[in-house]
Each structure stands twice: as C-alpha cells, then as structure tokens.
Structure 1
Amino acid sequence: MAEPPPELVQQLYSTPPDRFVAARDAAVADARRAGDPATARQIARLRRPTVAAWLVNLLAIRRPELVADLVQLADAMRSAQRELRGPRLRELSGQRRAVVAALVAEARRLAAGEPGAPSAGKLPLAEVEATLNAALSDTGVAEQVQAGRLLRAASYAGFGEVPRPQLRLVTGDEDEEEERPARRETGRAPAQRAPGSDRAAERAAQAERAAERAARAERARQRRALERELTKARTEQERAESELADAAEAERDGVAALDDIENELAELERRRAVAEQELSRAKLARRGAERALTAARRRTGEVEAAVEALDADEGAAGRGGGEAD
C-alpha cells in the first residue's frame, strides 16, 4: 500500500488545524493530477488534529531534539522507580518540571510564528502539558508524540507503575515450621547420640535459627525503610505535580493578563492616532488663522495709511483756502 511522502505528512501535521483540511485536500488533488490515486487515498485518510495535538506535533517536527530529551528523561525515571531510588527520583522530578515547562514555552513560541494559528490566549497549553506528562508515564504515548502525528491530547493519573517487592509477613510461627520437617521425616525414633554431641547439635541449630531470625528482621527493616522512602517519593511527586498545576494556572493567568494589556495598548494606539489627527487639524487651523491675521493686519495698515493720507490732503486744502481769503 502506498504511503504519503513523510515530508508531506510533516508539512500537513505542522499546519494549524483550521487550515489542515484545505492543505490536505490540495495535496490529494496534486497526487491525483500526478497519476498516483493510491497515494491520494492515503493522504485523504489523514485526520485533522486538535489544537493541543497540533502543538505537540509542532514540537516533534520542529524541535525533535527537545522531545528526544523528554523520552530519555522518562526512561531514567522509570528505571529509578523500578529500583526505588528516592534521591534520584526527586532529582529527576525536578528535571521533569523544567523540561515540560520548557517544551510548553517552546510550543507557544512556535505557534506564534505560524500564520493562521490561534492567539496566545486561546492556546490549550494545559492540554499540551498534560500530554507531555503522559508521554513521561506511557511509552505508547511517547512514541506517538515522537512520531509527530498525534490526533488528540493525552492525560495521565500518575507517573507509571511502581514495582512492589515480593515480601511476606514474618511471624514467630516460621521457627516452628522450619523444625517440623525434621520431626516428620519418618516414624522411626532418631538414633541415639552422645549427650555432648546432642548439646553441640542443639547449640548449632539454635545459632542457625537465630541467624535466620536476624536475617528476616533485617529484611523486614529494609522493607520498612523502602516503604518509607516510597511514601516520601510519592509525596514529593504529588507536591511537584501540585506545584506544576499551580504554575500552569499562573501561566494561563499571565497569558490572559498579557492579552488584556495588548488589547489596552491597541486601544491606546487607536486613541493616539485619533489625537494625532485632531492635533494635525488644529495645527492647520492655527496656521490658517495666523495667515488670516497677517493679511488683516496688513490690510489694516494699508487702510490706516490711506486715512492718514486723506487727512493730510484735507489739511493742506484747508490751509490753502485760508490764504486765498
């Protein structure tokens, strides 16, 4: 059966979901025009991912080295859990928080550079975070994440299965159980031994039983210590998960606040543009008024000069008439 070219699949699954169907249909049409109906059918079977799955696919396609680090961390955590290594588990839990947070931030950054992607405030980053944590817990999810063809987000209810040691309850009856087979070997009476030999054999048996009891007590002590360590590790994990949830919620609040600020800035920019236009009109009006004032002053001066000239002519005329009389 023909398979779509891997580069085409990567291109489709790195396309924002709102544009996926159109891009897939165009690829189907190209395959048909190329005379490859089998490949066209395979491309048509590709399904659109959710926004959260698309973000995870984007990480796998654009930043595969970061996803590979996540998978390696998951292997290390599973190994530490199997071996019940509390300090190592706590160290890896801290690394897990840092790695997941870095991947979520990178997914947001990658989405910001994709035309047609949802705005930052609408990205389901909590689902991305849950999917990455599920990949840390489930090897099947990790494989899907690495393939870059995830269709929907995943979730988990805890980090993997913790192997339980095969232990049994130690009681005082075990001493008697160990002695019973010797008493049930046959119905014949034991051979007579010398009193000294019997006492030596009894002391040896007592020492052996004491050593066995000490060994069982040590195993019980180790079991209790391991159970305490396991309880402590699980408590640390729960606290880390709670801190992670709080941090994710704080991040979402920060994104929402940033969106609000960006909206306010956009409104301020609009108001600034309107104010600049009004200021420009006011400047033009002022310049027009200045020109009108200058013209009026010039006209006033001209009229005043004409009036003064007329007055001078009349005065001269009056003086000339008086002399004639």
Structure 2
Amino acid sequence: MPNLIDDVVRRLYEEPPDGFVATRAAAIAAARSAGDREAAKRLAALKKPTVAAWVVNLLARRRPDLISELVQLSGALRAAQRELQGDQLRELSQQRRVFVSALVAAARKLAVAAGAGASKLPLDEVEATFTAALADPEVADQVRTGRLIRAAAYAGFGEVPRPRLRLITGGDDDLSSDAAEPPGRAAPDGAQKRPARIAAGDSREDTPGTAAEQAAREGEARELSAREARERAVRERRRRENKRRRRELERDLASAEAAERRADEQLVRAEAAERDAEDLVDDLEAQLAELERRRTEAVAEVARRKLARRTAERETATARRRVGDVQAALDDLMTNP
C-alpha cells in the first residue's frame, strides 16, 4: 500500500487540481477495498492545492535541480544580508530577480504542457512563492517537498539586522544608533557635518571679528539649526508614517490570517462531509450489490419452481387420463359380463 500512496501523492500534486478530488476518492475507495484503513485515512487527509501551489509543486517535482539552486541562493542571500555585504548583496539580489523570473518561466512551461491554460495561470502568486522561498528557509523546505497547498508570500526580504532597521526608519533613534554602526560605515550626513561646523564655529568665536562677521556666523548657525530641525521633522514624519503603515499591515495580516483559519476550518468540514457522503455511497452500493445478488437468486428460484409446477401438471394430467381409462374399462366389464 505504501507504493499506492506514493503513486497517488505524485499524481495528486502533479496533475491539475480540477481532478484532485476524483483521483483522491478513487484511491481511498481502492484502499478500503484492500482493507487498508490506515492508507485510506492518510489519503483522505491530503488537501487540494490551489492552482498557484500546483504550478510550484509541478516545478519542484519535475525540476528538483532548480529548487536545489533556489535553496543555495537563498542561503547565500541570507548570509550576505546578515553580514551587510553591500556589493555582494546587490549582486545576489540581481541574481535573485533573474533566477525567480527563470523559475516562473519554467513552471509556466510545465503547467501549460500539463494542460493548463496559459492565460489563467496566477503567475504573480507563483513568483511571490519563489521570492518567499528565497527569504524564508521554512518556505524553501515546503517548496522542496512538492506538496504545497497554497501560495506563499513575504512582505520583506532576508534577515534584516535591527541597527539597519533603525537607520532606515529614521527618527530620533538615528542619532543614538551611530555607536552601533559597524567600523568603516559612514554616519548620517547631519551627524558628520554638525560637529565640524560647531568646531569651526568655536574656533571662529575665539577670533575677534566685525559685527557683520558675527551676524553672518549667527545667521549661518540659525540656518544650520533650521535645516537640522527640518531634517528631524522629515525623519519624524517618516517614522510616524511607517509606524501607522505597519499597524495597518498588521491589522490586515491578522484579518487575513483569521479569514484563512475560517476557510481552513470550512475546508476541513467540507472534506469531512465529502468523505461521509462517499462512505454512504459506498455502503449503499454494497447494499445494492447484495440486493441484486439476492434478486438474481430469487429469479432463479422462481424459474425452478415454475418448471417443477409444469412437471407436476403434466404428471397430474397423465394420472387423470390413466384413471379415466381404467374407470372406463371397469364400467365396460360391469356392463357386459
């Protein structure tokens, strides 16, 4: 039976999803006929993939070499991201885009060859799944199995270190995170220019000058302060906007996950109801087969009884004729002694 299960799994996740339920039902019926309830239970637990997941599974099963390359590239990207290797990361990111496009094209070709309509393939979901696999090792492992149920998605890319996140989001934390910068990394422009300007100002303040020079220095200082204030305001607005957007996305994610859970629960109930209906059909078919067998036996018995009745009728008619003949002979003898 393990060979049967392996063969069914291969067919279920390689053939287009529209034949999934029928193929699974036939395999479950075969397992039950063979008396293997455990195999029937395992087969019944297999879930139907979406079209996008099927396309990804098709590539994983038909071209495992490409999936191995995807796993290798995902490891290199994560390592470069963790080490903040800018040049290597840019090169790998470019390679990622090209590679994902190649994977999508290969998967599309296999799906079309399997009978899917090219215009109806959700290639954006397929691309999102491959991109997620490059960023998340767990998704990569799921893709490698060739048994995805639904497409995957990833909001960001890679393992982004926290100091880098603080630099990107901006805000007051930018100034305090300078100490966290790796050696050799340039500090923000404002942090570079401000100490130099203040030092220059301090040196000029110790030097006597005209009122015009003093006014110019004060105007320059005010302009610098105003520019820094504007930059801080811009960073603060960006930080607040990012925070607001993050809250919105988290709410959307929570809502989507809740909807997914409800859909999964509904699918489980529907599949259980489907299995119950299939079991009922199997029971009724067995009852019908038994009734048909009994009907055939009853028809044969009726035929035998009819034959026996006709034989008895013939024997009765013969006996009656014999009685009549004997009675006539006896009467004749009595009349003519």
The answer to whether the Cα contact below 8 Å between 1:4 and 1:43 also exists between their aligned partners in 2 is no
Counterpart of 2:67 in structure 1: which amino acid?
V
Partner-residue secondary structure (3-state), 1:41: helix
Residue correspondence of structure 1 range 134-149 to structure 2 within 5 A: 134-149=132-147
Match of 1:292 in 2: none
Q: Displacement, 1:45? A: 1.1
Residue correspondence of structure 1 range 39-188 to structure 2 within 5 A: 39-115=39-115, 117=116, 119-164=117-162
Counterpart of 2:104 in structure 1: which amino acid?
V
The answer to whether the Cα contact below 8 Å between 2:77 and 2:158 also exists between their aligned partners in 1 is no
Q: Displacement, 1:21? A: 0.6
Hey, what's the Cα distance between the residues in 2 that align with 1:78 and 1:106?
A: 24
Task: Give the number of the structure whose alpha-carbon radius of gyration is greater.
Answer: 1
- Structure having the higher helix fraction is 2
1:222 to 184, 190, 205: 184
Hey, what's the Cα distance between the residues in 1 that align with 2:29 and 2:46?
A: 14
Hey, what's the Cα distance between the residues in 1 that align with 2:79 and 2:34?
A: 50
Hey, what's the Cα distance between the residues in 2 that align with 1:133 and 1:127?
A: 10
Q: Displacement, 1:29? A: 1.4
Identity of aligned residues (%): 57
**What's the TM-score once normalised by structure 1's chain length?**
0.50
The answer to whether the Cα contact below 8 Å between 1:3 and 1:39 also exists between their aligned partners in 2 is no
Hey, what's the Cα distance between the residues in 2 that align with 1:82 and 1:108?
A: 33
Match of 2:31 in 1: 31
Hey, what's the Cα distance between the residues in 2 that align with 1:107 and 1:4?
A: 26
Q: Displacement, 1:25? A: 0.8
Counterpart of 1:145 in structure 2: which amino acid?
V
Q: Displacement, 1:218? A: 12
> How many aligned residue pairs are there?
180
The answer to whether the Cα contact below 8 Å between 2:77 and 2:92 also exists between their aligned partners in 1 is yes
The answer to whether the Cα contact below 8 Å between 1:61 and 1:148 also exists between their aligned partners in 2 is yes
Q: Displacement, 1:78? A: 0.2
Q: Displacement, 1:104? A: 0.5
Q: Displacement, 1:221? A: 6.0
Counterpart of 1:59 in structure 2: which amino acid?
L
The answer to whether the Cα contact below 8 Å between 1:29 and 1:40 also exists between their aligned partners in 2 is yes
**What's the TM-score once normalised by structure 2's chain length?**
0.49
Hey, what's the Cα distance between the residues in 1 that align with 2:139 and 2:11?
A: 21
Counterpart of 1:159 in structure 2: which amino acid?
F
Q: Where in structure 1 are there 5+ consecutive unaligned residues? A: 172-215, 228-325
Listed one character per residue, the Cα deviations across residues 149-182 of structure 1 (whole Å, up to 9, x for unaligned) are 11111111111221245999999xxxxxxxxxxx
Listed one character per residue, the Cα deviations across residues 165-200 of structure 1 (whole Å, up to 9, x for unaligned) are 5999999xxxxxxxxxxxxxxxxxxxxxxxxxxxxx
Q: Displacement, 1:5? A: 3.1
The answer to whether the Cα contact below 8 Å between 1:56 and 1:148 also exists between their aligned partners in 2 is yes
Partner-residue secondary structure (3-state), 1:144: helix
The answer to whether the Cα contact below 8 Å between 2:55 and 2:126 also exists between their aligned partners in 1 is yes
Partner-residue secondary structure (3-state), 1:108: helix
Listed one character per residue, the Cα deviations across residues 95-118 of structure 1 (whole Å, up to 9, x for unaligned) are 111111111111111011114x2x
The runs of at least 4 consecutive aligned structure 1 residues that moved more than 4 Å come to 165-171, 216-221
CA-atom RMSD in angstroms: 3.1
Counterpart of 2:80 in structure 1: which amino acid?
A
Partner-residue secondary structure (3-state), 2:148: coil
The answer to whether the Cα contact below 8 Å between 1:84 and 1:226 also exists between their aligned partners in 2 is no
The answer to whether the Cα contact below 8 Å between 1:71 and 1:136 also exists between their aligned partners in 2 is yes
The answer to whether the Cα contact below 8 Å between 1:50 and 1:153 also exists between their aligned partners in 2 is yes
Q: Displacement, 1:224? A: 2.6
Hey, what's the Cα distance between the residues in 2 that align with 1:38 and 1:218?
A: 57
Residue correspondence of structure 1 range 310-321 to structure 2 within 5 A: none
Hey, what's the Cα distance between the residues in 2 that align with 1:75 and 1:221?
A: 25
Change (3 A) 1:46 1:81: same
Listed one character per residue, the Cα deviations across residues 77-107 of structure 1 (whole Å, up to 9, x for unaligned) are 0000111101101111111111111111111
Change (3 A) 1:4 1:140: farther
Partner-residue secondary structure (3-state), 1:160: coil
Hey, what's the Cα distance between the residues in 2 that align with 1:169 and 1:78?
A: 24
Structure ranking higher on relative contact order (CA contacts 8 Å, 6+ apart): 1
Change (3 A) 1:44 1:90: same
Partner-residue secondary structure (3-state), 2:102: helix
Hey, what's the Cα distance between the residues in 2 that align with 1:97 and 1:219?
A: 29
Match of 1:15 in 2: 15
The answer to whether the Cα contact below 8 Å between 1:12 and 1:20 also exists between their aligned partners in 2 is yes
